[in-house]
Structure 1
């Protein structure tokens, strides 16, 4: 238990590393699908999140607080998408890591930061929607874009602090059975696994979800109140809130199964459900839920386009002027 082949949500090295597992067919089938899947979602995520960031950065109107948080969310997703191809190549080569120990640490730190930063940005954007709709007369500093940028800097710092165990304990190590130089997470003590799971379950999911749930409940009640909706400020904020609620719903759909599997992994630490079969099923379940969680970073840009009417309008303005900068002059001459 001292050497854990998987980080917070990274695949184990290979089925052969588990001495009590004889279910190689399922592992081989899963390993054969992983590289193609990672390449596809990384390509989709890179293009989608890149376009979202371009819209937020190139728009002429000043960014709102929600724009700041959603832009940072897109940045976190973009960073993660740039790291997934490293693991696609590694899995395709039988988990042989050919990128050196520095990238072994940095790639996994970046991926570990993605989740904790994403969930905190979503929590902040839900709080912003709560203040905009439920407390429209509030003059809180949280409703200022300048303060939102400072808060985002704090979120990135906190995300990095959460990944310090990954930075310290990720290393390259030769594994005899598959005969590869693997990039693994070598905990100095088995208790680190328990601490790792509990921290992510409680601080990285349970508390933010409770905050999001509280804000969402009040937001929905305001949206269902017809008298309040006639207020000009509330009507304007309602459109932006629809996009936020959609992003939150998809996030919960993609990440909840993984958090449940991590909780079951904690129970397995205490041997509540012993046995090789359970360990095998748990490993497979963690990996499948991991890839569902990865897809969240590639789906978010489509939500901006499908749900966000204001975002589509801004995208047309930004890319229309970028692709045809002389359009105004030509229309004036005409």
Structure 2
């Protein structure tokens, strides 16, 4: 079957809302009538490179992401000391990234399979719900991280009691519940249907009408981008100002907080670089679908850019664990201590096993 940008306008709309990688199925700016202005809108961009490389790229990102994020979670979980508040939030972020990279291979297989979804209706709904939940879990975990650093460095004396592990765990739980609630419409509107015209069994998101689809996209931009980015930006600016206060160096506790904050700022910076372009292009895409942007060339550019920034957003899921190792001194310390614990535990376990086997043989003899 032809790719979505080769389909007629109704079929393109049918394939629109691919889920978390909407740009691949969001092209209404094709060589067919434009759904907004009913004029010929020729495709001016070659898509062969993107469509051929996308499954390979997703598989690489998924393999690296699963390996690295599982490693991060294991380091935090296996270390003999309990996690700090900041580490609880970072491990929650790693769990959200792990959820994303675990779901992406299903879509890679779907693309490689000429957009035939082979996994059934249940997985069609669940996989896309997991991808959508990463939307919210990632950014709101960073909101919690930013607020935690803000309290630790700016209001340590007045609000320090709020920074307790039990509150951090409760905050992470609420983020997951919040993400599940916001992603739940996918369980209702996500469908699996055979399209005889193209001989494709498609897993797609079909809202009752276009107004509801646009409302959903606008709310997504507000709830998953504008609000959290505003909070993160405010906290980050306050944190940077607090780090410039040289008097903090006199206190060991504050120096420890500064080390953790440097890692947090690196993670926040990586998130901004990887995700802000995606959300900005998504907003432009909503404006195009609403008829605000009607220029054919602009529509093609938005569609192409949506592909590129989607790849960039994927990369954030493997960038965070790398930053933990390269920038996080405390994480590296924990990592080596876990390796040391494991190195000591292996000989002890081996000696215990040999001793038990020897005593068993003596008893049987």
TM-score normalised according to structure 1 size: 0.92
Partner of 2:52: 32
1:216-253 deviation per Cα after TM superposition (whole angstroms, max 9, x unaligned): 11111111111122222211100000110000000010
Rounded to whole Å, the distance in 2 between the matches of 1:163 and 1:286 is 21
Rounded to whole Å, the distance in 1 between the matches of 2:349 and 2:194 is 64
Rounded to whole Å, the distance in 2 between the matches of 1:323 and 1:129 is 34
1:131-181 deviation per Cα after TM superposition (whole angstroms, max 9, x unaligned): 111112134553010111111111000001111221211111223454211
Partner of 2:88: 68
Rounded to whole Å, the distance in 2 between the matches of 1:269 and 1:16 is 9
Rounded to whole Å, the distance in 2 between the matches of 1:197 and 1:240 is 35
- C-alpha contact 1:83 1:110 (8 A) present in aligned 2: yes
1:171 match: secondary structure = strand
1:79-113 deviation per Cα after TM superposition (whole angstroms, max 9, x unaligned): 11111111111111111110001100000000010
2:27 aligned with 1:7, yes or no? no
The answer for unaligned runs of 5 or more in structure 1 is none
Specify which of 128, 133, 137 is matched with residue 108 of structure 1: 128
Change (3 A) 1:9 1:141: farther
Q: CA RMSD in A?
A: 2.3
Change (3 A) 1:111 1:96: same
Change (3 A) 1:117 1:131: same
Q: Give the Å deviation of 1:183.
A: 0.8
1:95 match: secondary structure = coil
| Structure 1 residues 42-121: aligned runs within 5 Å | 42-121=62-141
- C-alpha contact 1:223 1:229 (8 A) present in aligned 2: no
- C-alpha contact 1:16 1:178 (8 A) present in aligned 2: no
Partner of 2:38: none
2:154 aligned with 1:142, yes or no? no
Structure number with greater Rg is: 2
Partner of 1:185: 205
Specify which of 176, 185, 191 is matched with residue 165 of structure 1: 185
Q: Which structure has more RCO (C-alpha within 8 Å, separation ≥ 6)?
A: 1
Rounded to whole Å, the distance in 1 between the matches of 2:327 and 2:241 is 20
Partner of 2:3: none
TM-score normalised according to structure 2 size: 0.84
